Amino acid sequence: MTIGPRFTIGQRFARLVTNVVVRAPFLWRVFRGRMTRQFDRLASEWDETRVSRERLAPMIAALDGIDGDRVGRALDVGTGTGAVARLLSERWPGAEVTGIDVSPGMVEEARRLGHERYEVGDAASLPYDDGEFDLVTLNNMIPFFDEIARITAPGGYVAVSYSMGPRTPIWVPIERVRAELERRGFVHVADFRAGPGIALLAKRP
């Protein structure tokens, strides 16, 4: 996909990294430092300028698709300032919700804004046990599919959303997301569209 002039230099870099890493996850280590620094610089203004209920609408639609199932432990991967993690706490007040992000600056902001557990960590090598989570969410995040599959419990869900669809700087076509999850044994539940965004919900049998 051609990147149009609407993208800033930083957004162009994010799209480049996404395209490369989805095809060759081992190359993430080449880009990780620069991506981390980029998000650290944006952390203090992120929640005010880039987070809104409208932008969270695709993820909210996907969570609606879980249809009341119990969620005991949930993980938001690439949590940023914790907006989706806070959504999970609202929806499942009794759940243990964790947000993880490679950017220390983002995690610091998330801890300031919410009461959930927030940790600095790399989505390519998550510090959690196999099958630890009933729900794993990724909003505008590069998906490391092997790790997603490893940490999702049998019967658990994965929700992946992109708030502006193909205009999201970090974007993987939803068909590719679906195929990669199905290759790892997930069952596709549904796709959801809300405003310009799109989301996918899958379940591990």
Task: Summarize pLDDT for 67-106 with one digit per residue, the tens.
Answer: 777 899 999 999 999 999 999 999 999 999 999 999 999 8
d(CA 126, CA 25) in angstroms, rounded, equals 14
- Amino acid at site 110: A
Helix (H, G, I), strand (E, B) or coil at 180: helix
Residue 74's DSSP bridge partners are 97, 135
49 CB burial (10 A radius; 0-12, 13-18, 19+): exposed
What is the per-residue pLDDT across 98-114, written as a single tens digit (0 to 9) for each? 999 999 998 999 999 99
In our burial notation (b when 16+ CB lie closer than 10 A, e otherwise), range 15-25 reads bebbbebbeeb
**Where residue 12 falls among pLDDT bands split at 50, 70, 90?**
confident
Domains annotated on the chain, with CATH: 9-203 (3.40.50.150)
